């Protein structure tokens, strides 16, 4: 197939693009490089630098495309609290602009990367797709709004739409941001740099960490699976790990002598998060293959920053 990936130079997008190339698809990537890096991409990937709201560019790139993976988004929760309008412009208005361009060109299928963040705090775990979302940040609100847009407009315009709610993805190449970095690259950097591992909150809050290759496998499967129109599906590991347990495992694997410090300044986020994978197994035949211990070992082995 001829496939377009928006946000395809990012952490997840580049892993997806490089995998699709190995399956003999023709892959085009659109990315504004606000967080992406084209050097992550295989030479066979056709890269174009542009914003998701550049409609003439979208129309040009969409010619002959059979499926769009929509990963372009602003994704830092803390940043979204400071700049909600920017998150709405990119994550919501950008999605609508893409949908309009797809309608004009006649693209039949859209696969959208949503987030487990839409659930917020939930008393019952694991969290199924039937659970009422409780978004707690503008980022989460924007992802949920984009879900509604793709499914509603897709139904009106005859586009097959699939939303995958991806939980805490990690793997080699995950960016270490100057502030509010994802917890795994932050802990690895702190441990290997001889610093203290800083845990926000009490460390008992849990997350569902899913290895990048498992996420990519789900995304690739959604490309050709039938009977998934207007489906919203959780993609995670199905395993609940506390931040304290994560810190202990990273210290064990890095053989670091770092201390663990608890900071009351930053929020620890939601108290628990674990994906119910029943629908993913039924619809996509999805089964996570990489447990956290093995995933961390692969990150340490494959990511040159940690060697």
The catalytic residue positions are 139
Closest CA to 211 of 290, 285, 113, 281: 290
Phi, psi of 189 (to 5 degrees): -65, -40
By C-alpha distance, which of 169, 168, 172, 170 is closest to 301?
172
User: E strands along the chain, which residues?
Assistant: 2-6, 26-31, 46-49, 67-70, 109-115, 160-166, 168-170, 197-200, 206-207, 209-211, 231-235, 241-242, 260-263
| Residues found in the chain | 307
Place of tokens 């999605």: 95
Residue in the structure block whose two tokens are 């019952």: 124
Bridge partners (DSSP) of residue 2 are 26
Instruction: Give the largest CA-CA distance in the chain.
Output: 58
- The set of residues, in sequence order, having a beta carbon less than 8 Å from that of 54 and lying 6+ positions away, is none
Give the contacts of 149 (CB within 8 A, at least 6 positions apart).
Answer: 92, 95, 96, 99
């Amino acid at each position: 197939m001829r496939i377009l990936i928006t946000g395809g130079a990012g952490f997840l997008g580049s892993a997806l693009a490089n995998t699709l190339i190995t399956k003999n698809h023709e892959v085009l990537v659109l990315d504004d490089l606000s967080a992406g890096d084209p050097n992550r991409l295989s030479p066979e990937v056709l890269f174009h630098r542009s914003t998701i709201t550049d409609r003439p560019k979208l129309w040009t790139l969409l010619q002959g495309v059979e499926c769009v993976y929509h990963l372009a988004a602003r994704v830092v929760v803390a940043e979204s609290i400071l700049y909600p309008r920017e998150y709405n412009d990119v994550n919501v208005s950008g999605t609508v602009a893409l949908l309009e361009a797809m309608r004009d060109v006649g693209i039949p299928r859209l696969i959208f990367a949503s987030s487990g963040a839409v659930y917020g705090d939930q008393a019952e775990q694991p969290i199924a797709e039937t659970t009422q979302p409780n978004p707690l940040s503008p980022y989460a609100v924007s992802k949920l709004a984009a879900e509604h847009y793709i499914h509603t407009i897709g139904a009106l315009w005859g586009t097959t739409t699939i939303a995958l709610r991806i939980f805490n993805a990690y793997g080699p190449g995950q960016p270490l941001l100057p502030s509010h970095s994802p917890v795994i690259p932050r802990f690895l950097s702190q441990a290997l740099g001889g610093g203290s591992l800083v845990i926000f909150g009490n460390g008992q809050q849990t997350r569902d960490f899913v290895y990048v290759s498992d996420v990519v496998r789900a995304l690739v499967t959604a490309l050709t699976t039938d009977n998934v129109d207007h489906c919203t599906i959780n993609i995670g590991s199905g395993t609940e790990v506390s931040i304290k347990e994560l810190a202990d495992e990273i210290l064990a694997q890095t053989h670091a002598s770092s201390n663990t410090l608890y900071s009351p300044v930053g929020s620890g986020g939601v108290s628990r998060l674990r994906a119910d994978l029943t629908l993913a197994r039924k619809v996509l035949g999805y089964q996570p293959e990489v447990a956290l211990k093995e995933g961390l070992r692969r990150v340490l082995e494959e990511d040159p920053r940690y060697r």
